[in-house]
């Protein structure tokens, strides 16, 4: 039977979640983080803050095309707009998922998995995804956006928007797992989400990005196994 108390990654009670669980359940579900609008706003702002650093290689690549080809400043803005439009759509999706998990009793009001099995399973799933062909393709586009521009070049603001939408889809395919890890360590845990941002930026660094994807996957898989096994070592 569920106690309504959130657990951290090691299966220990989360103090803030415990205090919230002591409230009237009806009050819990009336809080802003149990409503689509405020929760979507939180995800939208958080994604903008997390994804902007990862866009640096893409914007620099287009900047080079302004100087050497027929890229324009409006096209640059179009790329940025298309990119963030895709991520806003993903924010709506992950908001819906969070509400479903919340009302299904899988996570608490802070977005933390109630069970080490759920948190560990999520870490395992995201870690294993790092080894898939889908991850390889999406990461390849995100890591080297110039190739995408050369193969899908469109002029002007409308062309930039179209290319931004395409790049945004590949970026979601590459990074969705790191966003979903919020449910393992806490969606509202700034340190944890900052770590997810660090992983995404690390993967897109020109010199080392292609070398860190699988090691990160192995790290996540080992972490997932440790979290799942942690209750066995608790007295």
State the pLDDT at residue 48: 87
Which pLDDT belongs to residue 14? 52
Mean pLDDT of the chain: 85
Report d(CA 172, CA 184) in Å as an integer. 19
Q: What is the pLDDT of residue 232?
A: 81
Q: Are 149 and 62 in contact (CB under 8 A)?
A: yes
Q: Are 36 and 94 in contact (CB under 8 A)?
A: no
Over residues 94-119, mean pLDDT = 92
82 pLDDT more than 50: yes
Q: What percent of the chain has pLDDT over 70?
A: 86
- The answer, yes or no, to whether residue 234 has pLDDT greater than 50, is yes
What is the average per-residue pLDDT within 45-57?
A: 86
pLDDT of 21 > 70? The answer is no
Average pLDDT of the segment spanning 65-75: 86
Q: What is the mean pLDDT of residues 88-113?
A: 93
pLDDT in tens, 158-203: 999 999 999 999 999 999 999 999 898 888 788 888 888 899 888 8
Residue 29's φ and ψ, nearest 5 degrees, are -75, -5
pLDDT number for residue 5: 45
Q: Is 115 helix (H, G, I), strand (E, B) or coil?
A: coil
How many angstroms separate the CA atoms of 204 and 209, rounded? 5
Could you please report the per-residue DSSP string of 35-70?
SHHHHHHHHHHHHHHHHTGGGHHHHHHHHHHHHHSS
Amino acid 235: pLDDT: 55
């Amino acid at each position: 039977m569920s106690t309504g108390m959130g657990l951290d990654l090691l299966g220990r009670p989360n103090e803030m979640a415990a205090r919230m669980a002591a409230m009237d359940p009806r009050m819990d579900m009336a809080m802003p983080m149990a409503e689509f609008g405020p929760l979507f706003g939180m995800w939208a702002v958080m994604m903008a803050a997390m994804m902007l650093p990862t866009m640096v290689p893409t914007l620099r690549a287009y900047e080079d095309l302004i100087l050497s080809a027929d890229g324009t400043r409006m096209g640059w803005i179009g790329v940025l707009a298309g990119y963030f439009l895709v991520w806003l759509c993903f924010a709506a999706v992950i908001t819906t998922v969070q509400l479903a998990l919340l009302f299904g009793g899988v996570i608490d009001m802070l977005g933390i998995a109630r069970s080490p099995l759920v948190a560990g399973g999520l870490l395992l799933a995201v870690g294993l995804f790092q080894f898939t062909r889908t991850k390889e393709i999406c990461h390849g586009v995100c890591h080297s956006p110039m190739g995408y521009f050369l193969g899908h070049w469109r002029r002007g603001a409308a062309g930039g928007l179209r290319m931004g939408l395409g790049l945004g889809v590949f970026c979601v395919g590459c990074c969705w797992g790191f966003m979903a890890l919020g449910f393992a360590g806490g969606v509202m845990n700034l340190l944890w989400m900052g770590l997810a941002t660090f992983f995404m930026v690390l993967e897109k660094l020109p010199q080392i990005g292609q070398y860190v994807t699988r090691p990160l996957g192995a790290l996540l898989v080992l972490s997932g196994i440790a979290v799942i096994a942690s209750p066995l070592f608790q007295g």
